[in-house]
Structures are given as structure tokens and as C-alpha cells.
């Protein structure tokens, strides 16, 4: 057995160490300090003998000698503390999507104005694949300028006359109004853009293109990811896109080649001179080809793919949206006989004894313009505006929108917002008598064509087509529903994705108001 007295000694030695160490740590230094001062915690601090300061030795003191008559030193400046940037609220994302979507049903002025940091258009997988990589939504500023320069509606008188003759020959039979409207708009824009009518033969392809451009793609949620492309392949969406875009690409390739061959036969100056004399001359394709040849060798050249992309913009964005808006306008008018009669009375009073509506009559048709505005409010050409991508963090309606976020403005919801519009579901054109609101992008309660730098370049031509065709149809005909059909029976159900068209086409019976000249 070990000696207990030895263990007791060892235990006593361990117990003695802590007090010894404590006394050693608290023993004052034998340095030249003078005076003491009570600290906030009750501990005493010793002053330096030289400067009466604290925290250093007299031997190493570099401060001036203490002068009891000197004024007290100025208090030190507070340290500048950098504020940490507050993290924005997390926006829900899907998968590894690097451009999370944010749908905005109000505050469109903040999201679409030129001052907002959401100026860049976002790209979708379908648009990027269109026309072999020439994205329809890409920013082609030179082409937009060229389009606006030549978009002069000089062609719709002839095409509207053909529409009136066709409806007059129909007699008292019901007609599908959407088909006649589409062929008329196709003739106007097709003649303006291509020199002749083409789109009627591609009607199904253009409608399918609208559906594909607005379809949800896995690649949109997983951009640049193999998984997104694989899912689109397995679902068949990628194959559909490739097939329809190849077909449209061949269609536009043929058009461009025909116009380029015509340019090679004679100089552009001779073509424009013939146009000035009233013969077949310049159209949009010729202008874009001239731009392509002038800027093709520059650093940011305008290529043939850009020409085809602009043509797709014209057909998809021009023909479809214009014809759908006219279809909705006639549907709302036939459901509201009071509004139709008031519009017809105004048109016939302005036109008078003339056989047809003329261009110079349009500025006088105030109520007709209100009818068009009300149609845009309830049935905008595009339910969702072209997506924007934020370039920096900013706020919309109290929500933090991070950088690189896809912002989508819901124009359909804005037009039916009860906080903005009284009786938003009712078709009441008179509401614009008291509200000074236009659709030119300056009033964000009504932005069917967008706003800011990305506003639709075909706004002027689209509105002119809608107003002139609608005025001519209301002036030349009285419209009735087929026998046995009441206005309450009209189905106003919407269908589509990018553009909401009427699911069931409208059938009307036209009765000529005046004999055609």
C-alpha cells in the first residue's frame, strides 16, 4: 500500500498552486507610475508619471509632458463604420435558374421605364432557337429604326376594299369574322413588308410559332444545363421547335433571296424611283437588305439572320396581334349594342355622303378611338409584356428585386385592376372621356405595346390598321348575330398563351349599309 502521507503532501502541493499563480498575476509592476484612478469596474489604474496618461510606461512614453494649466484635449473623432448592405428578400426560383422570374401585376412604370435598371431584354430558349440562333427578342436597334422609318400605312385602302367586296358578295350568310380579318391584315402587312401576300399560306405555322414562343421550356429554368435540354428532348418540345423554325426559316430565306435577286437586277435607286412613280417598288425586305449590305462588314454587322428575325417579328407580332385585337373588338361591340350604335353614328356622321372612310376622317373619330383603347384594356395584344432582365438590385412596390432577375409585367392583370379601373370587367369606352390616358407608353395604366426603349416599333402601324379596318367595317355594314343566337350566348372564353385569342370564333351576319362603289 502506498504511503498516504505522501499522497496527502502531493495533494496539498496541487492545492497551493492556484493561489500562488493568482498572487503573481496581480502583483504590481515596479515601474515609475504616479497616481491611481478608479475604473468603471472598481479596479485601479496607474497614471504615467510623464504625461499622466494610462496604458503605457514612462520609459516608453512619447506624449508631451503633462501641463495642468493646458486646456483639455478635443475628443477623438468617431470611427467611420461601413454599413453592411442588406440582403434582398429571396425570390423563389426553380431549380438552378440563373434568371429567376418575377411577375409584376402593378408598378409597371418602375419595371419598364427607361430609368429603371430592368432595361435588358431577357432571352427565352424558344426565341434563342428561332431562325438558327438569331433571337427574335434580341436588341436590333438599327433594324428597329429602319422598320419605323418605312412603316407608312399606304396599303390598307386597297385591302380593306377587298374585304368589303367579299363581305358584300356573301349576302345574308353568317361569316367567321376572324378569317376575314386575318386575310385583310395579312394583305396589308404582307404587301408592306414583302411586296405581296404570303402569310395566309403560313397561317397555321405562325399560330404554332406563337404557342411555342410562349411555351414553358425546361431550358428556361435550367439555362445552359444539359438537364434542361434533355427534358425538352424527352417531352418532344425541342423537336417541335426545330421543325417549325426550320420551316419558317426556309420560308423567310426564300423571301429574302427573291428580293436580293431583284436588287441584283437593278440598283436600289432605280427601285425607289419606280416606287415614287407609283409602280411596284420598295418594301420592308428591300430596306432591310440595303441595311444588311451597308452594315454587313462592320464590327456589329446587320446580317441575313437579322433580316429574317425582323420578318418573323413583323409577322408574329404584327399580323397575329392586330387580327386578334380586331376580333375582340367586334365581339365586344356585338355584345354591347349601345356602344356599337354610338360608334356607327359617329363614323357615319363624319364620313357623310362619301362611299368609304378616308384617312383624313380618322382624327375626327374620337369615340372610335375610345373603343379601341377599351379593347386594348380588356384584351391586350400580349398578355405579358416582353420580359426584362434587371441589371442591378432595385425595389418595385416594396419588393426587393435582385440583379439578373427576369421581370415580367402582367398587362392583362393591370387592365382589370379594380384599384385603377371602375367596373373593370365591363366594356365602357366612355371611361376614357374623363381619364387622359393613352397607350403610347407614358401612362402605365395602359401599356399594351410596352414602354421605354423596348416599346413596340410597330405601334403606329398597328393602331392605324385597327382603327381604319374597324371604322370601315362599322361604316359599310350593320352587324347581327345568326338567327336564334342571343348576345348572352356569345362565348368570351380566352385561349392561348402569349396572345389570348377568342376560343370560339365569332359568327356574324353583315348587312351592307351602302352599295359598294
pLDDT tens per residue, range 156-213? 678 888 899 999 888 888 999 988 998 888 778 777 766 665 555 555 556 666 666 6
The pairing of strands 501-502 and 494-495 is antiparallel
Q: Which whole number is the average pLDDT over 356-372? A: 92
Share of the chain above pLDDT 70, in %: 59
- Domain assignment of residue 44, given as a range: 23-67
pLDDT at 109 over 90: no
Q: Which whole number is the average pLDDT over 270-282? A: 47
Strand partners, 396: 399
Structural domain contains residue 81: no
* Residue 357 backbone phi and psi in degrees, to 5: -70, 135
Together in a domain, 183 and 40: no
Nearest to 119 by CA among 450, 412, 458: 450
Together in a domain, 107 and 32: no
Q: Check residue 132 and give its pLDDT.
A: 42
Q: Check residue 270 and give its pLDDT.
A: 46
Q: Check residue 269 and give its pLDDT.
A: 47
Together in a domain, 467 and 374: yes
d(CA 276, CA 222): 52
Together in a domain, 119 and 167: yes
Q: Check residue 451 and give its pLDDT.
A: 82
Nearest to 177 by CA among 191, 198, 163, 188: 163
Nearest to 506 by CA among 416, 317, 379, 382: 379
Q: Which whole number is the average pLDDT over 58-80? A: 66
Ranked by mean pLDDT, the top range of 121-125, 334-338, 446-450 is 334-338
0.75 exceeded by pTM: no
Together in a domain, 362 and 451: yes
The pairing of strands 406-409 and 101-104 is parallel
Cell of 517: 362603289
Structural domain contains residue 189: yes
> How many CB atoms neighbour CB 503 within 10 A?
11
Give the residue, 290 or 363, on which the prediction is more confident: 363
Together in a domain, 365 and 247: yes
Binding positions for heme are: 456
Together in a domain, 114 and 59: no
| Per-residue exposure over 424-433, b if at least 16 CB sit within 10 Å of its own CB, e if not | beebbbebbe
Q: Calculate the alpha carbon distances from 424 to 52, 108, 117 in Å.
A: 80, 18, 31
Model confidence at 41, pLDDT cuts 50, 70, 90, reads: very low
Q: Check residue 12 and give its pLDDT.
A: 52
Together in a domain, 116 and 49: no
The pLDDT tens digits of the residues spanning 114-144 come to 334 544 555 445 444 444 434 333 344 444 4
Structural domain contains residue 88: no
- Count of domains for the chain: 2
The pLDDT tens digits of the residues spanning 392-408 come to 888 877 888 888 888 88
Q: Calculate the alpha carbon distances from 172 to 336, 344, 507 in Å.
A: 21, 20, 12
pLDDT at 102 over 80: no
Q: Worst-scoring range by mean pLDDT, 22-26, 136-140, 271-275?
A: 136-140
Give the residue, 475 or 499, on which the prediction is more confident: 475
Together in a domain, 49 and 176: no
pLDDT at 10 over 50: no
Q: Check residue 374 and give its pLDDT.
A: 95
Q: Which whole number is the average pLDDT over 485-511? A: 86
Q: Calculate the alpha carbon distances from 294 to 135, 138, 140, 274 in Å.
A: 21, 20, 15, 21
Structural domain contains residue 2: no
Structural domain contains residue 403: yes
Q: Calculate the CA 426 to chain-centre distance.
A: 26
Strand partners, 401: 394
Structural domain contains residue 17: no
SS3 assignment for 221-255: HCCCCHHHHHHHHHHCHHHHHHHHHHHHHHHHHHH
pLDDT at 487 over 60: yes
Structural domain contains residue 290: yes
pLDDT at 276 over 80: no
Binding positions are: 456
pLDDT at 455 over 70: yes
Q: Calculate the alpha carbon distances from 498 to 200, 219, 329 in Å.
A: 20, 18, 18
Cell of 298: 462592320
Structural domain contains residue 74: no
Together in a domain, 257 and 122: yes
- DSSP calls for 378-397: HS-SSSBPPPEE-SS-EEET
Together in a domain, 59 and 140: no
Measured on CA atoms in the order 313, 314, 320, 321, is the torsion positive or negative?
positive
Cell of 24: 503573481
Give the residue, 473 or 189, on which the prediction is more confident: 473
Measured on CA atoms in the order 359, 363, 367, 373, is the torsion positive or negative?
positive
CATH of the domain at 459: 1.10.630.10
pLDDT at 365 over 90: yes
Together in a domain, 29 and 107: no
Share the mean pLDDT of the chain: 72
Q: Check residue 432 and give its pLDDT.
A: 92
Amino acid at each position: 500500500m502506498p504511503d498516504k502521507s505522501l499522497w496527502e503532501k502531493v495533494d496539498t502541493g496541487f492545492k497551493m498552486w492556484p493561489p500562488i499563480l493568482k498572487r503573481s498575476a496581480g502583483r504590481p509592476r515596479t515601474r515609475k507610475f504616479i497616481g491611481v484612478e478608479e475604473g468603471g469596474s472598481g479596479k485601479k489604474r496607474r497614471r504615467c508619471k510623464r504625461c499622466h496618461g494610462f496604458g503605457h510606461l514612462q520609459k516608453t512614453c512619447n506624449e508631451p509632458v503633462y501641463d495642468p494649466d493646458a486646456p483639455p484635449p478635443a475628443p477623438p473623432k468617431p470611427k467611420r463604420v461601413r454599413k453592411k448592405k442588406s440582403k434582398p428578400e429571396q425570390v423563389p426560383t426553380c431549380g438552378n435558374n440563373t434568371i429567376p422570374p418575377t411577375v409584376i401585376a402593378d408598378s409597371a412604370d418602375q419595371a419598364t421605364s427607361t430609368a429603371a435598371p430592368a432595361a435588358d431584354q431577357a432571352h427565352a430558349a424558344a426565341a434563342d432557337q428561332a431562325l438558327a440562333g438569331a433571337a427574335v427578342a434580341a436588341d436590333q436597334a438599327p433594324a428597329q429604326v429602319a422598320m419605323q422609318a418605312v412603316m407608312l400605312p399606304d396599303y390598307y385602302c386597297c385591302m380593306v376594299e377587298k374585304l368589303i367586296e367579299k363581305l358584300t358578295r356573301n349576302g345574308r350568310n353568317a361569316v367567321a369574322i376572324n378569317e376575314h380579318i386575318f386575310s385583310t391584315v395579312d394583305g396589308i402587312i404582307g404587301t408592306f413588308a414583302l411586296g405581296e401576300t404570303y402569310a395566309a399560306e403560313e397561317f397555321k405555322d405562325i399560330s404554332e410559332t406563337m404557342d411555342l414562343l410562349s411555351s414553358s421550356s425546361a431550358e428556361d429554368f435550367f439555362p445552359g444545363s444539359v438537364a434542361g435540354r434533355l427534358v425538352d428532348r424527352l417531352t418532344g418540345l425541342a423537336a417541335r421547335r426545330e421543325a417549325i423554325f426550320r420551316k419558317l426559316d426556309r420560308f423567310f430565306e426564300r423571301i429574302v433571296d427573291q428580293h436580293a435577286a431583284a436588287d441584283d437586277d437593278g440598283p436600289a435607286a432605280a427601285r425607289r424611283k419606280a416606287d415614287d412613280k407609283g409602280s411596284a417598288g420598295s418594301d420592308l425586305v428591300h430596306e432591310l437588305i440595303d441595311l444588311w449590305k451597308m452594315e454587313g462588314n462592320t464590327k456589329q454587322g446587320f446580317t441575313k439572320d437579322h433580316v429574317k428575325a425582323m420578318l418573323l417579328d413583323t409577322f408574329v407580332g404584327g399580323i397575329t396581334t392586330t387580327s386578334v385585337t380586331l376580333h375582340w373588338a367586334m365581339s365586344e361591340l356585338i355584345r354591347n349594342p349601345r356602344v356599337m350604335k354610338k360608334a356607327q353614328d359617329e363614323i357615319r356622321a363624319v364620313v357623310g355622303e362619301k362611299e368609304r372612310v378616308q384617312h383624313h376622317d380618322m382624327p375626327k373619330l374620337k369615340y372610335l378611338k375610345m373603343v379601341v383603347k377599351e379593347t386594348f384594356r380588356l384584351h391586350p395584344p400580349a398578355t405579358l409584356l416582353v420580359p426584362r432582365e434587371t441589371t442591378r438590385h432595385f425595389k418595385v412596390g416594396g419588393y426587393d428585386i435582385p440583379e439578373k432577375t427576369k421581370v415580367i409585367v402582367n398587362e392583362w392583370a393591370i387592365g382589370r385592376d379594380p384599384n385603377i379601373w371602375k367596373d373593370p370587367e365591363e366594356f365602357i369606352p366612355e371611361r376614357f372621356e374623363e381619364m387622359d390616358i393613352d397607350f403610347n407608353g407614358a401612362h402605365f395604366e395602359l401599356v399594351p405595346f410596352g414602354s421605354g426603349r423596348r416599346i413596340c416599333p410597330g405601334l403606329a402601324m398597328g393602331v392605324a390598321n385597327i382603327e381604319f379596318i374597324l371604322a370601315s367595317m362599322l361604316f359599310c355594314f350593320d352587324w347581327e348575330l345568326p338567327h336564334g343566337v342571343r348576345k348572352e350566348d356569345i362565348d368570351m372564353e380566352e385561349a392561348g398563351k402569349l396572345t389570348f385569342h377568342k376560343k370560339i370564333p365569332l359568327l356574324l351576319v353583315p348587312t351592307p349599309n351602302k352599295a359598294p362603289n
